[in-house]
Chains A and B, each alone.
Chain A
Amino acid sequence: MTAVIAAEGLGKRYRGKWALTDCTLSIPAGHVVGLVGLNGAGKTTLLNLATGMLAPTTGTIEVLGERPAAGPAQLARVGYLSQDAPVYAGLSVGDHLELGAHLNPGWDAALARDRIDQLDLDPRRKAGKLSGGQRAQLALTLALGKRPELLILDEPVASLDPLARREFLQDLMGTVAEQEVSVVLSSHLISDLERVCDYLIVLADSRVRIAGPVDELLSAHHLLSGPRRDPDTRPAGCQVISASHTDRQSTLLVRADGPVVLDPAWTVSEVRLEDLVLAYMKQAAGRSDRNRNRHLEALT
């Protein structure tokens, strides 16, 4: 399996502040990959590095085996829809399609026109007069019209209302299925990713916390609940990702690569993707807290 995005020790510093540090990851081709992380986890920075909008401060990144934005050929293979879906307010919808046709040798005019027709957009309409959802659709049309091998979407639905969000994602999935394009989609809304992604990467503190196909991740994780235990006891063969305790009950989210055999006091239930992601984010946050404490102890 070839990697669409491969990063090694990647770091980016803006004006003295690190937005991304020591990020190493490999995103396989042929998936709709969800990149999820809290605000400020480095998602946008990572995607900007992947499209060559930014240059890394440290480390390397390769996209489809080449340096991002290395040349027209590399640019032609990657479609990018950035966070706020920028379009030229003064140009019409039709002008944008013409822009795509003039700037992309592989431009698929029929595909672009069909999409605009389906979306019921008037080609003579100024892009500045479109709604947020329509603007995002227009920007997506430009990204798809160049027929990329990899489509990178940075929080494409963050600014859309729930209905527009659902429509956008449905439409995206339909098109992706037809075009056989790899997709990397970032979001902090897990419910959106759950609907469309078959591969998940959780980014926290600019580190990859977990990555893998969604179904494998779900089948490897279990939610255990039972009478309250000593917090330090661990069920055999399991790795505890998160634990919460009330006076009477303990709830554990565990990872077990084999079948789970437990004492019958535990109730095993399936994990929802959202709980899984949150558990890993919380774990990352807890780990850095512990690190901080350890540093403090060392100092005193």
Chain B
Amino acid sequence: MIWLTWRQFRAQAVTAAAAVAAFATLLAITEPRLASLYTGSGFAGCRGGSCAGLANAFLGQLSNATPFGGPQGFRLLPAGTNLYVTVYAVGLLLILIAPAITGVFWGAPLIARELETGTSRLTWNQSVTRTRWLTVKLALVGAAAMAVTEAFSLLQAWWAAPISRATDLGGSVSVFSGGRFSPFVFATGGIAPLGYAAFGFALGVTAGLLIRRAVPAMALTLAVFAAVQVVVPLWVRPHLFPPDAAIAAVESTHATFSDFSGAPTLSAAVVPGQPGAWILASGAVNAAGQPVTALPAACGPASGTPTAGSAFGSDLGRCLASHGIRESVSYQPVSHYWPLQLVETAIFLALALALAGFCLWRLGPPRLNSRPAEASQRAVGVEATVRSE
């Protein structure tokens, strides 16, 4: 069974290995210059408060750099685009879509193509049960899908380590922005790609088994996976681990003021003493800790009416502080990065296992084709019985 799985999967495996090798080569060629800029900019050796500025300087230099230094560096890309910006963005994109690609091209046809071409009837009549056939295929091809995605992720993590350090410190230039908790960076780093790859693959296999036709199954897999990629960072990930809470002076949170539809809000930009934290929710509270819905009138005219989107001046900050108004922040600190990664990965691995289990149960000897009869079908069935008697 392992032989057949490998024989059928060989071409895809070679393609995937070639893609990983090509990406590795690209990163290996461009890495030395990135490393020298990292040291040269002084960012590599920085400690403490000066780092934030150096991070931006480093990212700025990188976004104008050519791989071998000097203005005559080889040009792979059209003028106006930078190699490092492009490679970083392409890398993130590759890791994001690799689970979708393996789910669509490896998962969805795994059973559906065999059913479509009738070869299932050839293979399922050898001396191997369908359960064993599917178990081996799920395990080997699924493991390959996970390995490919994680390989992309590890290569990117190695190459972009200085960039990640800079963005985690708040550095932001061009595409080099967003720390470890930004949606794309979180989903492409750590162990999360393993979970996504397993889930995408199992989703494809399940769609193929239920729809029994490869192309519609591929389309459905892509649609569902894309929806999951949107829903999870927006609504699921923030709640996967209990967040921390803090109350701090408004000024110290670099809060910005906004006034959409008459509800003035103060949105914190940083959590004091927690660099790189992921802010889930924030807002002004009074001395009793109650949310403040309107700013004190005294602070308005005296310090000049704040304009929407502007950072607070220190006068206004002092005024709010004198009225006992402070900023409350709910956030995931940097120390929650790995717990969040673990929980998210575990959820997707569990979903993948559940889907695989469903496929095995569904394909098992007594169930294939015997769809549950709906009420209307049952009625027709009775008719047919009567007619045939």
Q: Which residues of A contact B335 (CB under 8 A)?
A: none
0 or 1 for each of A102-133: is its CB under 8 Å from B? (1 = yes): 11111000000000000000000000000000
0 or 1 for each of A15-34: is its CB under 8 Å from B? (1 = yes): 11110010000000000000
Give Cα A152 to B366, complex, Å.
20
Given contacts A53-B121, A98-B3, contact A72 B127 (CB under 8 A): yes
Q: Which residues of A contact B367 (CB under 8 A)?
A: 55
A91 to chain B, nearest CB (A): 7
Give Cα A102 to B384, complex, Å.
44
B129 touches A16 (CB 8 A): no
A86 touches B121 (CB 8 A): yes
Q: Which residues of A contact B388 (CB under 8 A)?
A: 18, 21, 205-206
A-B pair count, CB < 8 Å, reads 118
A55 touches B385 (CB 8 A): no
B368 touches A15 (CB 8 A): no
Give Cα A193 to B356, complex, Å.
44
Which size class do B's interface residues fall under? 35 or more
Interface of B is mostly: helix
B380 touches A86 (CB 8 A): no
Q: A52-B124, A86-B120 are in contact. List 11 more A-B contacts (CB 8 A).
A: A16-B379, A16-B381, A21-B389, A51-B125, A73-B127, A75-B125, A76-B127, A86-B117, A98-B7, A99-B7, A102-B4
B97 to chain A, nearest CB (A): 26
**Which segment of A77-85, A208-216, A266-274 sits at the interface?**
A77-85
Tally of contact residues, A, Cβ under 8 A? 49
B365 close to chain A: CB less than 8 A: yes
Q: Which residues of B contact A105 (CB under 8 A)?
A: 127
Q: Which of A68, A84, A95 contacts B7 (CB 8 A)?
A: A95
**Which segment of A139-147, A182-190, A221-229, A248-256 sits at the interface?**
A139-147
Give Cα A55 to B367, complex, Å.
6
B126 touches A103 (CB 8 A): yes
Interface of A is mostly: loop
- Nearest CB in chain B to that of A52: its residue: B365
Given contacts A98-B3, A100-B126, contact A54 B121 (CB under 8 A): no
A13 touches B373 (CB 8 A): yes
A69 close to chain B: CB less than 8 A: yes
| Subset of 17 A-B contacts with CB under 8 Å | A13-B381, A15-B371, A53-B121, A53-B125, A53-B368, A55-B369, A75-B125, A82-B121, A86-B118, A87-B122, A88-B119, A91-B8, A99-B7, A99-B123, A102-B4, A146-B126, A205-B388
**Which chain A residues (235-275) contact chain B, with CB distance < 8 Å?**
none
Give Cα A291 to B386, complex, Å.
11
A2 close to chain B: CB less than 8 A: no
0 or 1 for each of B353-383: is its CB under 8 Å from A? (1 = yes): 0000000000001111111010011111100
- Nearest CB in chain A to that of B371: its residue: A15
Give Cα A142 to B124, complex, Å.
12
B373 touches A16 (CB 8 A): yes
A89 close to chain B: CB less than 8 A: yes
Given contacts A54-B368, A54-B369, A205-B388, contact A69 B376 (CB under 8 A): no
Given contacts A13-B381, A18-B381, A18-B384, contact A99 B126 (CB under 8 A): yes
B127 touches A18 (CB 8 A): no
Give Cα A51 to B124, complex, Å.
9
Given contacts A16-B377, A87-B122, contact A21 B385 (CB under 8 A): yes
